[in-house]
Amino acid sequence: MSFNERTIALIGEENFNKLASKKVIVFGVGGVGGYVVEMLARSGIGEITLVDFDTISESNINRQ
């Protein structure tokens, strides 16, 4: 069973198609934002835009 087939089995084909047609933007892709993005992608959202102006450095590595 493929990933999409499992999702369709859980939420139905109509709802899966609705998710696939949606666009989402996520501001901040640190600890929580990164998890949110992963779950949105796994749920089948069609287009995800990420916005994060932070840079990874020693002082903030715990938030990445």
Nearest to 41 by CA among 53, 52, 29: 29
Question: Side chain identity at 23, as an amino acid letter?
Answer: K
pLDDT computed for residue 16 by the predictor: 95
Any idea which residue has 């709802």 for tokens? 15
Total domains in the chain come to: 1
Report pLDDT digits (tens) over 6-61: 999 999 999 999 999 999 999 998 888 889 999 999 999 999 999 988 777 787 77
Task: Give the number of other Cβ atoms within 10 Å of residue 59's Cβ.
Answer: 7
**42 within 8 A of 6, measured Cβ to Cβ:** no
Domain interval for residue 28: 3-63
Contact 22, 46 (CB under 8 A): yes
Query: What CATH code is carried by the domain that includes residue 40?
Result: 3.50.50.80
